[in-house]
Amino acid sequence: MTYIVDERLNKFYLFCFVLK
């Protein structure tokens, strides 16, 4: 579970970074 959440968070942060 933590692994999936971590991956999702990583993707989310990456997306935010790209938008910024």
* pLDDT tens digits along 1-20: 577 788 899 999 999 899 98
Q: How many CA atoms lie within 13 A of 5 on its CB side?
A: 2
> DSSP for 1-19?
-HHHHHHHHHHHHHHHHHH
- Say what the pLDDT of residue 20 is: 81
CA–CA–CA angle 16, 7, 18 (5° rounding): 20
pLDDT of residue 4: 78
Q: What is the pTM of this model?
A: 0.30
Question: Cα torsion at 8, 13, 19, 20 (round to 10°)?
Answer: 170
Round to whole Å and give the CA distance between 10 and 19: 14
